[in-house]
Amino acid sequence: MEFRDTPDEAAFRTEIRNFIATEQPKDAPRGAADPFAMEGTRAWLKKLADRNWIAPAWPREYGGAGMSVMEQFIFNSELAEARAPRPFGIAVGFAGPTLIVHGTEEQKKKHLPEILSGDVVWCQGYSEPGAGSDLAALQTRAVRDGDDFVVNGQKIWTSGAHWSKWMILLARTDPDAPKHRGITYFIVDMKSPGITVRPLVNMADSHEFNEVFFEDVRIPRTNIIGEENRGWYLAQTTLSFERSNIGSAVGARQTVEDMVTFAKEHVADHMSTLAHNGSLRGELMERYIEAQVATMMSYKIVSMQAKEGVPPGHEASVAKLYGTELNQRIYRTGMKMLGLYGQLDGKSAGPEAPMKGRVKYMYLRAVANTVEGGTSEIQRNIIATRGLGLPRA
């Protein structure tokens, strides 16, 4: 792994730091808030768009900055270190790159400029009540009717559907084909008649997820990406340009640092159990070391991409598995540190809530980390079969 910047990379890092120092908004939302609810965030995204930094790793001909893998890594890590809002989501990470590779010219001209403006959110219509880890078992149907497809079915755990303009949807178009071969990849206008979005409020009292119901929803045939009945293979194409997960690794370390700062400031008062539980000092140290390990995993992945020119396979699963389980360990430690005061949140207790209620919220929210994006069990299977070469059970 290479930890040192080249002269050009060092200059780029300085450029980003200077930009953040002068332009970063002070009122950006954290967590699951509507990404466009705060004017500071909208203005920030506009400034990134002006520099072609909404999707900086996209090729220049499609409005990106044409960054190298290492430049993208530096960009992400500096925004994470500054706790600045980062361009994120399905639009930038999946829908846009998929359109670049597989979309028609008409689809690219229509959708890519919107994504690059930073003003449009997309959602992902993949999981269903009976098709989560076994996604190819999905049953949402799309039936050809003239120049349209008529869609009926349900999706679940659809992040951001309540504020999205477009959805990338997987639907079964050939029920007689083997389950991986009869699926088609669609672009769906979320304002189409027949779409119903219902909120799913998680146990952290946060509305991120939704159920989405389709009742005779008409989708133009021109909204198919790629070939009919070949959508599964598009969905499995890993098209994001930077998958090191450096933002999450930095965020984990910053959270532990915030906990340590809080512990130092409240070591002898009623807000902390640290004075009565000396083992917590060692536990905080362990979490900090583990966060540094997550950072090393990120460097390993980006070094593979930069030197070998291949995307990580099982290595990405290792990082995902480790990072999401680390999140849960970090917030369990936080709850131990705060004791009963860890039950207070910013909504009910206001300024009395330790760390503004962040530990309670994330202690509850982090439960989903090891499910979303592929369960820990799925990640372990990938590591075992693709990484270690073990036989399938």
Q: 128, 242, 290, 315: which one is catalytic?
A: 242
| 3-state secondary structure string across the chain | CCCCCCHHHHHHHHHHHHHHHHHCCCCCCCCCCCCCCCHHHHHHHHHHHHCCCCCCCCCHHHCCCCCCHHHHHHHHHHHHHCCCCCCCHHHHHHHHHHHHHHCCHHHHHHHHHHHHHCCCCEEEECCECCECCCHHHCCCEEEEECCEEEEEEEECCCCCHHHCCEEEEEEECCCCCCCCCCEEEEEEECCCCCEEEEEEECCCCCEEEEEEEEEEEEEEHHHECCCCCEHHHHHCCCCCCCCCCHHHHHHHHHHHHHHHHHHHHCCCCCCCCCCCCCHHHHHHHHHHHHHHHHHHHHHHHHHHHHHHCCCCCHHHHHHHHHHHHHHHHHHHHHHHHHHHHHHCCCCCCHHHCHHHHHHHHHHHHHHHHHCCCCCHHHHHHHHHHHHCCCCCC
Residue 153 is encoded by which pair of tokens?
A: 């079915």
The answer to whether 318 and 388 have CB atoms below 8 angstroms apart is: no
242 in catalytic set: yes
Cα separation, 175 vs 77, whole angstroms: 44
Cα separation, 58 vs 101, whole angstroms: 11
Residue 33 is encoded by which pair of tokens?
A: 């808030």
Active site residues: 242
